[in-house]
Amino acid sequence: MQWPPKQREVCVKASNFSEGDEEPMDPVRKDEFDSGACGSLAPKVRPCPRPKPGEAAGGCSFDGAQITLLPIMDAAHLVHGPIACAGNSWESRGTLSSGPSLSQYGFATDLTDSDIIFGGEKKLKDSIDYIAERFAPPAIFVYSTCVTALIGEDMDAVCKTAAERLGIPVIPVNSPGFVGSKNLGNRLAGDALLQYVIGTGEPSPDMSMGINLIGEYNIAGEMWDIEKLMNSAGIPVTSRITGDARYKEIAWAHRARVNMVVCSRALLGLAREMESRYGIPYFEGSFYGAKETTYSLRQMAYLMNDRDMERRVDRLTEREEARLSQDLRPYRKILKGKKAVLYTGGVKSWSVISALKELGVQVVGVGTNKSTEDDVRRIADRVSDDTEYIPEGGASRILKTVRERKADIMIAGGRNMYVAMKEQIPFIDINQERHKAYAGYEGLLRLAKELTYSLANPIWKLAASPAPWDKEAPPYDR
Ligand code: SF4
């Protein structure tokens, strides 16, 4: 069966979906999960849990699809659904652009009750026409939501007709929120790129082909730090999938010589499919921590099969590591032996541990609620045996671990910031809302600085001391 299926197939089949392991699962969803919605390397091992009640609280599939595609900065992104779906996720991420800003416009068809009764396809068509005429984008991505999937909008047909009428790609992204988790949405967005974008364009003949960076979203400008390193080593970037990307570079991604899957197991399926369709080898890597960065750069040069490039990478990594080691010296003195609870999702749950270990920080508790079995195995390789795993439970379970393990700092996503503040312990934001770039050698130095600043901030001592009015006993006690 073709994937992604038509809009109606998603909504009808997903409605048969059951949480229990024993109950039958429809073939479309079963394929998706068995082949690794979270990107397992072992296709027959179910790598990520089936959707559970409340799972969308950490971001629904629609949200996951947007995370993957919104960094295509010059494209328009139109949400077909109620305004709240677009509003909830709009501008909440720190993905940056070096030029166009069209993707930051919050386009939505804003369906009302009468559209739900009489259908919203006319509104969708008018919205696409308006965006094409007013903004002339190179492409328009159209996202389904729970509402439009449930009322059976034929989004694929509207997009197809609009693409023919307007002469630009109008791409349906069939990832309504109820089908599952954010990870599944990442993968469905990757499928949309495979089906509608990759292979539809050609680079100019004078461009040298190199690496596709898959799953790097340029949070807080991390992509720019990585590109700077690659440029220094003379490693060409062919396509950024999708941090700070332009539509045309995704269209020619099939001409790359190597795919690197950067911290995104959900997009491993994309790399695997590109290997089988276009013969592009891929590897998984991370840029969190000096060791991982060096490994990733070396792996790129090795797979490019270019001896000169390998020598340049060796020289660059030696130089950068030596410089970093000097710069980190004062921070390592402060950070050595500090205990941290790390609560983040998927690949970051293990890749950030490597970076923290290089700084001398001990991870005493780690969240695994969005991790695959493979992620958990990699965590286990990097932490000590007595590290606490936090599979679920949210804020109360994190707090319990912080208290029991006497952690010095909490490293988590923005939504746990107030948990740390109420507990009066230092905190840094590691998720996609963050404003600091932690990738590469420069990123590790920034991470060391942020950890140190947060730990050394006098506010924690002040907050733990009694309020001035509590220091004096009230008159009636004297
Ligand atoms: S797509 Fe569905 S789950 Fe996601 S925000 Fe919209 S209504 Fe909520």
Residue with tokens 């590591």: 321
Structure tokens that stand for 354 in this block: 């490597």
Summarize the confidence of residues 199-221 as an average pLDDT: 95
Give residue-wise pLDDT tens across range 89-100: 777 678 899 999
What's the chain's average pLDDT? 86
CA of 85 from ligand 1 middle (Å) equals 5
- CB of 86 closer than 6 angstroms to any ligand 1 atom: no
Q: Assess whether pLDDT exceeds 90 at residue 36.
A: no
- Ligand 1 atom 5 nearest Cα: 85
Cα 187 from chain centroid (whole Å): 11
- Which ligand 1 atom is nearest residue 147's CA? 7
Q: Are strands 339-343 and 282-285 parallel, antiparallel or unpaired?
A: unpaired
What's the pLDDT band for 461 if we cut at 50, 70, 90?
A: confident
Give residue-wise pLDDT tens across range 163-199: 999 999 999 999 999 998 888 999 999 999 999 999 9
Q: What is the pTM of this model?
A: 0.85
CA of 173 from ligand 1 middle (Å) equals 14
**Which residues, other chains included, contact 142 with Cβ-Cβ below 8 Å and sequence gap of 6+?**
78, 80, 124, 128, 155, 158, 159, 170, 171, 172, 173
Give residue-wise pLDDT tens across range 370-404: 777 788 888 888 888 889 998 876 788 889 999 99
- CB of 60 closer than 6 angstroms to any ligand 1 atom: yes
- CB of 177 closer than 6 angstroms to any ligand 1 atom: yes
- Ligand 1 atom 6 nearest Cα: 85
CA of 447 from ligand 1 middle (Å) equals 33
CA–CA distance, 193 with 273 (Å, rounded to integer): 11
- Ligand 1 atom 7 nearest Cα: 146
Percent of the chain scoring above 90 in pLDDT: 67
Test site for ligand 1: of 146, 179, 188, most ligand atoms within 8 A of the Cβ: 146
Query: What pLDDT is attached to residue 18?
Result: 32
Structure tokens that stand for 395 in this block: 């804020």
Residue 387 DSSP one-character state? P
**Which residues, other chains included, contact 164 with Cβ-Cβ below 8 Å and sequence gap of 6+?**
none
- CB of 56 closer than 6 angstroms to any ligand 1 atom: yes
CA of 67 from ligand 1 middle (Å) equals 14
Query: What pLDDT is attached to residue 52?
Result: 57
What's the pLDDT band for 37 if we cut at 50, 70, 90?
A: very low
Rg (CA), the chain: 24
- CB of 107 closer than 6 angstroms to any ligand 1 atom: no
CA–CA distance, 33 with 53 (Å, rounded to integer): 17
Structure tokens that stand for 184 in this block: 């599944």
CA–CA distance, 385 with 251 (Å, rounded to integer): 46
- CB of 145 closer than 6 angstroms to any ligand 1 atom: yes
Structural domains in the chain, CATH included, are 1-284 (3.40.50.1980), 330-464 (3.40.50.12380)
Give residue-wise pLDDT tens across range 98-118: 999 999 999 999 999 999 999
CA–CA distance, 34 with 26 (Å, rounded to integer): 12
Test site for ligand 1: of 145, 153, 182, most ligand atoms within 8 A of the Cβ: 145
Give residue-wise pLDDT tens across range 204-213: 999 999 999 9
Q: Assess whether pLDDT exceeds 80 at residue 11.
A: no
Query: What pLDDT is attached to residue 467?
Result: 82
| Angle at CA of residue 75, ends 69 and 78, nearest 5° | 75
Alpha-helical runs (H) found in 254-411? 268-278, 290-304, 307-335, 348-358, 373-382, 394-404
Among 20-24, 67-71, 254-258, which is the least confidently predicted range? 20-24
- CB of 173 closer than 6 angstroms to any ligand 1 atom: no
- Ligand 1 atom 3 nearest Cα: 177
Q: Assess whether pLDDT exceeds 80 at residue 271.
A: yes
CA of 88 from ligand 1 middle (Å) equals 9
Summarize the confidence of residues 146-170 as an average pLDDT: 97
CA of 48 from ligand 1 middle (Å) equals 20
Percent of the chain scoring above 70 in pLDDT: 86
CA–CA distance, 185 with 174 (Å, rounded to integer): 9
- Which ligand 1 atom is nearest residue 145's CA? 1
Summarize the confidence of residues 146-151 as an average pLDDT: 96
Which helix (H) or strand (E) is 140 found in, with range?
A: strand 140-144
Amino acid at 364: V
CA of 82 from ligand 1 middle (Å) equals 9
CA–CA distance, 345 with 351 (Å, rounded to integer): 11
- Which ligand 1 atom is nearest residue 88's CA? 5
- CB of 62 closer than 6 angstroms to any ligand 1 atom: yes
**Partner residues linked to 108 by β-bridges:** 79
Residue with tokens 């936090």: 390
- Which ligand 1 atom is nearest residue 146's CA? 2
- Ligand 1 atom 4 nearest Cα: 177
CA–CA distance, 38 with 32 (Å, rounded to integer): 9
- Which ligand 1 atom is nearest residue 81's CA? 6
CA–CA distance, 115 with 101 (Å, rounded to integer): 30
Structure tokens that stand for 188 in this block: 């469905």
Q: Assess whether pLDDT exceeds 90 at residue 46.
A: no
Confirm if 351 and 288 have CB atoms less than 8 A apart: yes
CA–CA distance, 183 with 268 (Å, rounded to integer): 11
Higher pLDDT, 465 or 22: 465
Query: What pLDDT is attached to residue 54?
Result: 53
Q: Assess whether pLDDT exceeds 70 at residue 315.
A: yes
Tell me the Ramachandran region of residue 36: left when phi exceeds 0, alpha when psi lies from -120 to 50, beta otherwise. Answer: left
- CB of 64 closer than 6 angstroms to any ligand 1 atom: no
CA of 129 from ligand 1 middle (Å) equals 25
Closest Cα partner for 364 from 398, 325, 326?
A: 398
CA of 346 from ligand 1 middle (Å) equals 21
Q: Assess whether pLDDT exceeds 50 at residue 369.
A: yes
| Burial zone of 380 (CB within 10 Å; 0-12 exposed, 13-18 middle, 19+ buried) | middle
CA–CA distance, 478 with 78 (Å, rounded to integer): 67
Amino acid at 453: Y
CA–CA distance, 362 with 340 (Å, rounded to integer): 6
